[in-house]
Amino acid sequence: MSAFEDRTVVLAVGGGIAAYKACEVARLIVKGGGRVRVAMTRAATRFVGPLTFQAISGAPVLVDLLDPDQERSYGHLQLARDASLFLVAPATADLIGRLRAGLGDDAVTTTALAITCPALLAPAMNTRMWANPVVQENLAALVARRWHVVGPGSGALADGDVGPARLAEPAEIAEAAARLLGPRDMSGRRVVVSAGPTREPLDPVRFVSNRSSGKMGFALARAAARRGAEVVLVTGPVQLPDPAAVRVVKVGTAEEMARAVEAEAGSMDLYVGAAAVSDYRPATVATEKRKKGEGDEHLALTRTPDILAGLGARFGGKAGAPVLVGFAAETERVVENAREKLQRKRCDLVVANDVREPGAGFGTDTNRVTLVAADGLTEVEGTKDRVADVVLDWVVPLLDRKRPRRG
């Protein structure tokens, strides 16, 4: 289940140019099944109209504390009662200072005074303002009161300056919010996830690879981190941003991926092999680009390391061993092939799908899978984030039975 499902996030929008990015934050929360209720400072409405947030959230926006209709139906006290999380984005220097001082002079600060839920700040301001000791003191005081902070990022600012204090990207803010809302049932666990394709070079220009985008493996890494795990993501070449709160190890070939996983295997509690590892590589690699010949050419291939099988041989069936989860991208006899893989590679679970099905193949944001275990099958479909959480829902009880928790 998404961390946002059946939860209410009160999004407090401060008066900065980055307020337009808060629209995307609201959209991501709604997309994840959450409810968004918005409070805005007067200054924020000069950058983004309340009607925009109302259209995204499907609910009225609180701006005017002295409007009897607003206060009666969805005032600041009601927002505070409903809130599962209070999220301030953007949190300007002025707004951070007023929150620190405990002022209650607008829709945002009065709501903040009444909350009892977790609170998350996403700072955004000019880089010189961010460097001001007063701003840093105000932020530190809020952190000491158990407020959480995401970002800021670094880069080009609206005024032309370049440096820190840029609002974190909407996906990063939503991810931080999800971590605060989701279960922490993987705290004290160390998880290794492999993701993406590998590339097996033929020469300095060409390589043998596959269509994997890495999206499923990245979703699993994000979900495990949200649930409190220490996560290492070993990934082949992909076009995806690094997940927050995850240590990323980037590799190219199957051999490199095998070495990277092996380096982490001794201390892991869970391995999730979501990577589409090339089964074969060219037997020889040319040092210069191969030139086109007149006739056909034959390419000799040799096997690459089987990462999951190696881990299964090392750990499979042993007391206190890590939980091993494999993936099977199939085009026929999906369940039968997954059952055979489960036994042959001595893993605990195989997540299988038919890559020819619409919405289930490489590169999509959705998936349709069957969880194949020794004691039964479970069919799951939805976004890859949802599938990731269902896989971990299955894994957590087994982890608790097999391995003592750290810390």
**CB neighbour list of residue 393: distance below 8 Å, 6 or more residues apart:** 1
The DSSP secondary structure of 27-44, one letter per residue, reads: HHHHHTT-EEEEEE-TGG
pLDDT band at 1 (very low <50, low <70, confident <90, very high): very low
Q: How far is CA 123 from CA 91, 165, 176, 272, 399, in A?
A: 4, 7, 13, 34, 37
pLDDT band at 405 (very low <50, low <70, confident <90, very high): confident
Same structural domain for residues 142 and 217? no
Residue 11 has phi, psi (to 5 degrees) of: -95, 115
The pLDDT of residue 159 is 66
SS3 breakdown of the chain: % helix, strand, coil, rounded to 5?
Answer: 35, 25, 40
Same structural domain for residues 141 and 273? no
Same structural domain for residues 152 and 253? no
Active site residue 132: no
Q: How many helices (H) and strands (E) does the chain have?
A: 14, 20
- Segments forming the whole domain that contains residue 355: 190-402
pLDDT band at 125 (very low <50, low <70, confident <90, very high): very high
Query: What value does the mean pLDDT take over residues 80-107?
Result: 94
pLDDT band at 70 (very low <50, low <70, confident <90, very high): low
| Calpha distance 344→312 (Å, rounded) | 9
| Calpha distance 200→208 (Å, rounded) | 5
Same structural domain for residues 176 and 208? no
Same structural domain for residues 224 and 322? yes
Query: What value does the mean pLDDT take over residues 279-302?
Result: 90
> Domain boundary residue among 129, 159, 181?
181
The share of the chain scoring above pLDDT 90, in percent, equals: 72
CATH number at residue 297: 3.40.50.10300
**Bridge partner residues of 272 (DSSP):** 193, 325
Can you give the pTM of this predicted structure? 0.75
- Given 126, 210, 337, 353, which residue is catalytic? 210
| Closest C-alpha to 251, from 275, 270, 271, 227 | 275
The pLDDT of residue 140 is 94
